[in-house]
Amino acid sequence: MSSNSEVIQNLRNAVINLDVDKVRATAEEAVRLGVNPVEAIEDGLSKGIREIGDKFEAGEAFVMELVLAAEAMKAGLEVFRPLLTAQRLKRKSTGTVVIGTVRGDIHDMGKNLVVVMLEAAGFDVKDLGVDVPPERFVDSAKLEKPHIIAMSSLLTTSAPEPKIVVDALEKNGIRANLKVAVGGAAVTPKLAKEMGADGYSDNAVDSVALFKQLTSP
């Protein structure tokens, strides 16, 4: 029988090897052994995807490898999530993020990858999904009281949407209480600034650094 430390190491390796089935099986083994799910996430899953992220940033891994690593980590998180909820165990939160693909756009691969990378970095993430209207961003901002509202826009037809959301946040008097980050193929750093966003990122790895910067004291 594997020791707890071996199982955690196996989780890390399975993510690095992009092996979704192995991650899921190892996570289930960790649950059977009574491994602390927080340690399994922090020292296993998170370290694995961070290693892939570092390789991607260094030009040593491709986007698809990052995507597959994210899918592997998600498989492990799904196994641990019920245990975390039942035991009310939480990692120290880096911050709370509400994220979604804006109205008129149903692309979600990039957004989903950002979500996994943020969770790996210790953020609490509320994913609103795709084709999210401005009023839903506003309602979620009121309910969740996040540090950051993050929006993805890949289609040129949806490019005006983040500005509409920012205006809606201002109209509801909550814009000053949070940061706004945008990304996606339809947005540029210049356009993000014109929209009134506090930050822009065009990839999942850089988004983690950006969001940490936006939540730093």
60-101 confidence digits (pLDDT tens):
998 889 889 989 988 998 898 888 766 655 667 889 999 999
Could you give the residue range(s) of every CATH 1.10.1240.10 domain in the chain?
A: 4-87
3-state secondary structure (DSSP) of residue 128: coil
- Say what percent of the chain tops pLDDT 70: 96
Q: Per-residue pLDDT averaged across 191-208, rounded?
A: 91
Per-residue confidence (pLDDT) for residue 90, from 0 to 100: 62
Q: Residue 1 — pLDDT band, cuts 50, 70, 90?
A: low
Q: Per-residue pLDDT averaged across 154-173, rounded?
A: 96
Could you give the residue range(s) of every CATH 3.40.50.280 domain in the chain?
A: 95-215
Q: Per-residue pLDDT averaged across 182-202, rounded?
A: 94
Per-residue confidence (pLDDT) for residue 72, from 0 to 100: 93
Please name the fold of domain 95-215.
Rossmann fold (3.40.50)
What does the angle CA 6 – CA 52 – CA 29 come to, to the nearest 5 degrees? 30
Residue 69 burial (C-beta neighbours within 10 Å; 0-12, 13-18, 19+):
buried
Q: Per-residue pLDDT averaged across 105-121, rounded?
A: 86
β-strand 123-127 against 179-183: which pairing, if any?
unpaired
β-strand 179-183 against 199-200: which pairing, if any?
parallel
Residue 78 amino acid letter: E
Q: Per-residue pLDDT averaged across 156-172, rounded?
A: 96
Cα–Cα distance between 206 and 74 in angstroms, integer? 20
- Assign 3-class secondary structure to 3-57: CHHHHHHHHHHHHHCCCHHHHHHHHHHHHHHCCCHHHHHHHHHHHHHHHHHHHHH
Per-residue confidence (pLDDT) for residue 38, from 0 to 100: 80
3-state secondary structure (DSSP) of residue 101: strand
9-67 confidence digits (pLDDT tens):
999 999 999 999 999 999 999 999 999 888 898 899 989 988 998 898 789 998 889 88
Per-residue confidence (pLDDT) for residue 89, from 0 to 100: 56
Mean pLDDT of the chain: 91
- Which CATH architecture group holds 4-87? Orthogonal Bundle (1.10)
Specify the pTM.
0.75
Cα–Cα distance between 88 and 93 in angstroms, integer? 14
